[in-house]
Chains A and B, each alone.
Chain A
């Protein structure tokens, strides 16, 4: 439930980056984090917890709380608040504990 302020941050086309949050395209300012993209996309949760399956969104935005863990470009458990957006980046929610997959090793 966050919104950008294009009037205060005039961002010509090349300063906005298009990423995909849960498959939906979102345009966010260059230099912002994947967690910011999640919040701007209005996603109800970026993950559910491994213990109680409770929904979570980013809490601290400085890399301390780990509530913003997400699957980014196929790699799970990344701190999305520490990953700057890049064109075409795919940010996916993760549910519970992630399963170990053999292709992760590739």
Chain B
């Protein structure tokens, strides 16, 4: 079955792109790993609609976008469908769904695969009971569930405050926020400007902080040298503050140091990427419409650089307009005229970014942790081992992978890739661009031989030797 546009991911960028493209008369397929639309930011927004802990932007804006996506005509929406291979030259997407594989043909492909939380390699982060802040939020969104006992959120970024508010509203009684931000970050951030244009987002953030105060959140600032300790499960969090060692009993530790684009698929496709020295992450090289270095492929949303859901939705619409131009549905003048509004929305949504990126810039230890810290969770490789390999001559993460197996486990480097590169850069005094990135390969997600064998013959391409 052939489509004009295949969109991978049903978050804000994917949903907005699909609505726009379908309205322009393109035939659109949307594939998504999740059972319902929303992406991670609006995950399970339909099912969570009655939960007072999630009231506000999540239920209002997320619910409205998901409803518009559901109501739009001309979208072939395929939930619970995983992309495991993509041939952009042939316009062929290989997907797995319900234990079988199939092929989808599309003249153009938009990757709206979003972001992941930046891995936070601290001593003890592999212990049960330690998870990412976003993981706890997913549990709240999808199951209405909250952690019990002494709960600690540690790190920095808007999500820490949002999650704190949501957990307090949801009845978590013993909650502490350990803020890792650097002392001078606010001064630096204020110089970035954008506060007036971004005042709506700023007001939203300040309201969250006020609500945490009103609800009695304990906040500890200037936290350094964070570590999780426990026998078989986290029981204690330790840190230094102003040179003094501090300890807190902890049943669940939720780590967060911002989010980074998920570049697994864009890297596997060999697209051009740039190191973003402000957001400390790789991002695929895109033009103003989200077009990548491959002529048939675009990227929209946080997968192309972190901007938040409003920028993602605007970017999705722009990518859809550009697809309509490239597929002959719009001329350039019509595309540009229709782009004015999403372009304005995108600018407004991104205005506060320079401020936020500076305010919540991760400390150096996040990309280059202490020697005893596990970096590759799958193969249990420490920072010290990676530094050792770099000293022996490994010049990039693909070589470290060959030396140590770091990045060779089931996650295929999604968790350790950037940190491995950061450690090599530090050890060898090289730039991140010189060190480079892991080159993942298809299948993008592991699959069983049974799934591969269970292809739908009508949808399979001709096999050649």
Contacts and interface: CB of A to CB of B under 8 A. Distances in A.
A91 interface: no
Contacts of B51: 5, 8-9
Contacts of A31: 35-36, 44, 47, 142
Nearest to A28: B143
B143 A59 contact: no
A61 B126 CA distance: 14
Interface string A50-92: 0110111111111111110100000101010110100000000
Nearest to B80: A84
A29 B46 CA distance: 13
B449 A65 contact: no
- SS of A interface (majority): loop
B132 A61 contact: yes
Interface stretch (B144-152, B302-310, B328-336): B144-152
A44 interface: yes
Interface in A4-42: 4-6, 8-10, 28-33, 36, 39-40
B380 A52 contact: yes
Contact of A62 (B35, B40, B146, B449): B40
Contacts of A64: 116, 262, 411, 414-415
A102 interface: no
B434 interface: no
Contacts of B251: 1
Nearest to B44: A31
Contacts of B36: 31
A29 B116 contact: no
Contacts of B233: 44, 55
Contacts of A6: 144
B149 A1 contact: yes
Interface string B134-163: 110011001111111100000000000000
A60 B131 contact: yes
Nearest to B449: A105
A3 B138 contact: no
B414 A65 contact: yes
Contact of A36 (B53, B80, B143, B380): B143
A57 B50 contact: no
B169 to A, nearest CB: 9
Nearest to B43: A62
Q: Counting chain A CB atoms within 10 Å of each CB, which of B135, B171, B380, B410 scores highest?
A: B135
A32 B143 contact: yes
Contacts of A62: 40, 116-117, 134-135, 138
Interface in B213-244: 232-233
Contacts of B138: 61-62, 81
B53 A61 contact: no
Contacts of A3: 145-146, 148
B379 interface: yes
Contact of B410 (A9, A30, A58, A66): A66
Nearest to A15: B47
A33 B50 CA distance: 19
B35 A84 contact: yes
Nearest to B149: A1
Nearest to B35: A84
A98 B414 CA distance: 22
Given A1-B147, A5-B170, A82-B33, A59 B142 contact: no
Interface of B: 33-36, 40, 44, 47-48, 50-53, 80, 82, 116-117, 119, 126, 128-132, 134-135, 138-139, 142-149, 170-171, 232-233, 251-252, 262, 377-380, 409-411, 414-415, 445-446, 448-450
10 contacts: A1-B148, A4-B144, A32-B145, A49-B380, A54-B380, A58-B135, A60-B134, A61-B138, A62-B138, A65-B415
Interface of A: 1-6, 8-10, 28-33, 36, 39-40, 44-45, 49, 51-52, 54-67, 69, 75, 77, 79, 81-82, 84, 105
Query: Which 7 pairs across A and B sit closest by C-beta, in order of nearness?
Result: A9-B144, A61-B135, A32-B143, A66-B410, A57-B128, A61-B138, A66-B411
